[in-house]
Chains A and B, each alone.
Chain A
Amino acid sequence: MIQFQYVKPSKSKAAIDTVAKDQSAVFIAGGTNLVDLMKRGVMNPEKLVDINKLPLRKIERENGNVRIGALALNGAVAEDKLVLEKHPLLAQALNAGASAQLRNMATVGGNMMQRVRCPYFYDTAMPCNKREPGTGCGALEGYNRMHAIFGHSDKCIAVNPSDMNVALVALDAVVLVSGPKGDRKIPFAEFHRLPGDTPQIHTNLQQGELIMAVDVPENPYTKNVNYLKVRDRNSYAFALVSVAAALDLDGSTIKSARLAMGGVAHKPWRLNEAEQFLAGKPATEATFLQAAQIAMRGAKAFEHNKFKLTLGPNTIVQALKNASGVA
């Protein structure tokens, strides 16, 4: 790890100004992603702005939303009464991530911002367009078992590794951001990016912009929900494929649905067309199979991740079954 300066401001304006005017400065929250990347020399910031003094830890009701502060810990959010009551899908997704120790450190803002887990990104001896633009994508022709099947480009095929993000995109969350030019709100689906020609640009957050909170709007998805994560071992591993499924049921008819996938794209992958298909249909396995087929349209796999073309739809069907209680 290179040397760096460490500051811990107590006002968000000071934190924002410091990072806004210094390209080599970054915020640090839980540190579980940043410290790891700094130890490996993947990220080499010269100044760390510790935001833990800022009052951004609250979880509260706000205008029909559950507002979750950017510094709320993943573990605390997953066990919060209000979250469990209003957005159990989010709690399930958070509990599926990392380990109890990491969830006690990781924050909501940091989780949103966590970098890809592509092994070529982590290994500074390897080519990677995301770490070093123009060096090529090591994974494209390399070991790409964990990589994307949707929305990739020939510059980068990595996936967003977060579980929380999959639930938040399904629940139409909104990110509250404060920056050098003022405050703005970013719909969750527009927060993360596809790699395109600029995989080095990680999210749509600008230099110096600080995530203050995330709003999860009131919705009817309080009961029939399931976050299903398939991984190489039962716990403490990143998703191969994950599915966030939420249904509003009227008897056995689906009034409306929310569906998103993780482990398949550079951003949490919302499945709008499959959701529209599900609305008004009976909650049966046949319906779920058709929805899964719609969801998988346009998927394109690489040498080592072809299994995701089968695992993907299977996981969708199973998550919808779990959510609806259809055996």
Chain B
Amino acid sequence: MSSDKFPEKNLPEEENGPQHSDARRTFLKQSSLLTALALAPSAAIKAAELKFEEKVAAVFEQVKVTLGINGKKHKLSIEPRATLLDLLREQMHLTGTKKGCDYGQCGACTVHVDGQRVLSCLTLAAMVDGKEVTTIEGLANGDKLHPMQEAFIKHDGFQCGYCTPGQIMSAVACVREGHADSDEEIREYMSGNICRCGAYPNIVNAIKEVKNGGQRV
């Protein structure tokens, strides 16, 4: 790839943001189409046999979805293979939701879909059509932090902070589900969120405080 595909350095200051990301997005789209062709030989060969243009269009079609993200409705056109995690981070630029393992093993990508906590890395974005997604960015009420965010700060519920958005989304759900009645229960129902810094005791304390404080979560 020649570097003239990346014009951001020459852009005027104020246009840097959107143009940069648009260029990057176009580049990603083109390159992922090429990757798709490279990775889907049988699909592509089959398509070639059966009149290239139409069939490639069918195989590489985009799916139209309408979904709410943090209270705002979005109409989007996406690749069927895009995960909700990649949609949030790459297309919506909501980078609060983290990619830890990308295989369902760590919980860093936890978000709420229609109020339930799920793993966005194993969720195809096409499958959330018509649903409401809440990410860590949508938890606070304007400038006022959510009680769980306050409690994580107060109890030092993190060190490096990488797992924290997922921990907080999971913790809010844990309390809402009614699974925060004892340390043991909290540990069991938070086991889907791994913390490499080992902030677990403080996370349990933060959740207990919110649960016992009786605030609306």
Contact = CB atoms under 8 A, between A and B. Distances in A.
Interface of A: 1-6, 8, 24, 28, 31-32, 35-36, 38-40, 44, 46, 48, 50, 52, 98-102, 104-105, 234-236
B117 A100 contact: yes
B200 to A, nearest CB: 12
Interface SS, A side:
loop
B50 interface: no
Nearest to B109: A101
Contact of A235 (B63, B80, B102, B187): B187
Interface string B35-52: 010011011000000000
B191 A101 contact: no
Interface centre among B58, B63, B179, B192 (most CB of A within 10 A): B192
- Shortest beta-carbon contacts, A-B, top 7: A99-B192, A235-B191, A6-B80, A3-B36, A236-B191, A2-B40, A2-B39
A3 B41 CA distance: 10
A100 B61 CA distance: 33
A3 B43 contact: yes
B60 interface: yes
Contacts of A36: 103-104, 122
A32 B61 contact: no
B165 interface: no
Given A4-B81, A36-B104, A101 B119 contact: yes
B110 to A, nearest CB: 6
Interface stretch (B145-153, B154-162, B169-177, B209-217): B169-177
Chain B interface size, as a band, is 35 or more
16 contacts: A1-B81, A3-B60, A5-B61, A24-B42, A31-B127, A32-B104, A46-B40, A46-B43, A48-B80, A98-B192, A99-B107, A99-B191, A99-B193, A100-B189, A100-B190, A234-B191
B117 A101 contact: yes
Nearest to A122: B103
Contacts of A100: 117, 170, 173-174, 177, 179, 189-192
Interface in B87-138: 102-104, 107, 110, 116-119, 122-124, 126-127, 129
B126 A6 contact: yes
Interface string B175-186: 001010000000
Nearest to B46: A46
B83 interface: yes
B43 A105 contact: no
Contacts of A99: 107, 191-193
B164 to A, nearest CB: 16
Contacts, number: 101
A101 B43 contact: no
Contact of A3 (B80, B129, B193): B80
B192 A105 contact: no
Nearest to A236: B191
B103 A39 contact: yes
B117 A104 contact: yes
A35 B122 contact: yes
A5 B117 CA distance: 27
Contact of A101 (B40, B58, B63, B192): B192
A35 B110 CA distance: 16
A4 B63 CA distance: 11
A104 B115 CA distance: 11
Contact of B123 (A3, A8, A105): A105
Given A3-B60, A100-B177, A104-B118, 15 more contacts: A2-B81, A3-B40, A3-B81, A6-B63, A28-B127, A31-B123, A32-B119, A46-B43, A46-B59, A99-B192, A100-B179, A100-B192, A101-B117, A102-B122, A235-B191
B22 interface: no
Contacts of A235: 187-188, 191
Contacts of A40: 103
B118 A105 contact: yes
Contacts of B187: 234-235
Contacts of A48: 80, 124
Contact of A31 (B40, B122, B174): B122
B127 A101 contact: no
Contacts of A44: 40
B118 to A, nearest CB: 5
Given A36-B104, A100-B179, A50 B127 contact: yes
B8 interface: no
A102 B173 CA distance: 13
A236 B192 contact: yes
A35 B83 contact: yes
Contacts of A5: 58-59, 61, 80
B17 to A, nearest CB: 29
Contacts of B107: 99, 101
A104 B116 CA distance: 7
B103 A101 contact: no
Interface centre among A38, A50, A52, A101 (most CB of B within 10 A): A101
Interface centre among B58, B80, B122, B173 (most CB of A within 10 A): B122
